[in-house]
Amino acid sequence: MSIVGSIGLGIGVVVIVLLVVFYLYVLRRNRAEGSGGLVTRSRLTCPKCHQTFDYDYVPGASLTALRLGTSRYMACPLCGRWSTFDLASTRTPVNPPPTP
Ligand SMILES: [Zn+2]
């Protein structure tokens, strides 16, 4: 392998390691604080079965849903039928402030 190739491989490994460390750091921080950060929670109502459920939305981690801007086309966890859910208008704080 050439010297340039070795340097390129080394840089690639370093970048991957840094990305993994950063992702783990963000996940741990969000879990510790319980709010803020990347995770947003939405209270969704299924248009098919009309039941409500909480959905934690993690950017870049929606592997089981199709992205449609601020909406998600995904399967309802309660009835299993696929519907479009609007995340933006139903967003709720992960830790709701205590009501006086
Ligand atoms: Zn449903």
Distance CA 37, CA 95 (A): 12
Predicted confidence (pLDDT) per residue in 33-51, tens digit: 544 466 777 888 998 999 9
- State the distance from the centre of ligand 1 to the C-alpha of 68, rounded, in angstroms: 19
**What pairs with residue 54 in β-bridges?**
43
Put simply, whether the predicted model's pTM sits higher than 0.75 gets the answer no
Q: Is-contact 54 40, C-beta < 8 A?
A: no
Predicted confidence (pLDDT) per residue in 66-92, tens digit: 666 777 888 898 999 999 887 776 666
The backbone torsions φ and ψ at residue 70, rounded to the nearest 5 degrees and listed phi first, read -90, 5
Other C-beta atoms lying within 10 Å of the C-beta of residue 87: 20
Q: Which residues surround ligand 1, an ion (CB under 5 A)?
A: 46, 48-49, 76, 78-79
- State the distance from the centre of ligand 1 to the C-alpha of 84, rounded, in angstroms: 11
pLDDT recorded at residue 70: 73
- State the distance from the centre of ligand 1 to the C-alpha of 42, rounded, in angstroms: 15
